[in-house]
Chains A and B, each alone.
Chain A
Amino acid sequence: EAQVTQNPRYLITVTGKKLTVTCSQNMNHEYMSWYRQDPGLGLRQIYYSMNVEVTDKGDVPEGYKVSRKEKRNFPLILESPSPNQTSLYFCASSSSRDEKAFFGQGTRLTVV
């Protein structure tokens, strides 16, 4: 089954404690991206990757890092999380930016 898998689904952490949210897709997609979704602000793109080793900033990249060492994986790294990064995060993949995107189940992150 074609899918995008994020882990963990829920995470509560403390300010400053580094964390990684994993994202994996099984569709051999080239394009992957991370979004955060906040009430009243909608889905905002954090980072995206056009292919292995090629990443670029989206609209809200501050405080986040990504890497794309393998085609199937695109982890999101918060080096020093802060409470304003409390949000619902989605990973997505598509064969290219111009094709339909498949989204993961979401990761609800709370930073206290």
Chain B
Amino acid sequence: SQKIEQNSEALNIQEGKTATLTCNYTNYSPAYLQWYRQDPGRGPVFLLLIRENEKEKRKERLKVTFDTTLKQSLFHITASQPADSATYLCALPGAGSYQLTFGKGTKLSVIP
């Protein structure tokens, strides 16, 4: 089955800087990859989906890249704000099944 690694459990950055989170996967290359935000005690909220034929996708201050050669997706938040503090999860579909598998997430803290 697909193994997903998100670069670190926790990431602290200064307000106004760009946060970069990493999602690496092994085995097969998925047709797409999703990113979610999760606040403590709440359900994940969808942010972005990027497909294998898309190198980059943007939404306001968010940018996602997808490198199928490196088997990696990068998630960027520019001009970060304390309100961006949350856990960010990446998710990939299973191969030959209808599963959707999530990484363990990276907890981002934006320090004022």
Interface size of A in residues (CB-CB distance below 8 Å): 28
Task: Using CB atoms, name the residue of chain B closest to A40.
Answer: B104
| Chain B 63-104 interface 0/1 with A at a Cβ cutoff of 8 Å (1 = within) | 000000000000000000000000001010100011111111
Contacting B at CB under 8 A, from A15-71, are 31, 33, 35, 40-45, 48, 50, 56, 58-59
Q: Is the interface of A mostly helix, strand, loop or mixed?
A: strand
Q: Which residues of B contact A90 (CB under 8 A)?
A: 43-44
What class of interface size applies to chain B in its complex with A?
20 to 34
| A103 touching B98 in the complex, CB below 8 Å, given contacts A42-B89, A43-B89, A98-B31 | no
* Complex Cα–Cα for A70 and B40 (A): 31
B98 & A31 in contact (Cβ 8 Å cutoff): yes
**How many A-B pairs with Cβ below 8 Å?**
62
**Interchain CA distance A92-B46 in the complex, whole Å:** 11
Query: Contact at B101–A45, with CB atoms within 8 Å?
Result: yes
In the bound complex, what is the Cα–Cα distance between A19 and B90 (angstroms)? 31
Please tell me if the beta carbons of B31 and A106 are within 8 angstroms of each other in the complex: no
CA of A98 to CA of B46, assembled, Å: 12
Check: B45 CB closer than 8 A to any chain A CB: yes
* B49–A106 touching, CB < 8 Å: no
**Further 20 A-B residue pairs, CB within 8 A, beyond A48-B100, A92-B44, A98-B32:** A33-B100, A35-B102, A41-B104, A42-B89, A42-B102, A43-B105, A44-B102, A45-B101, A45-B102, A48-B98, A56-B97, A56-B98, A58-B99, A59-B99, A90-B44, A97-B98, A98-B31, A101-B100, A102-B46, A106-B41
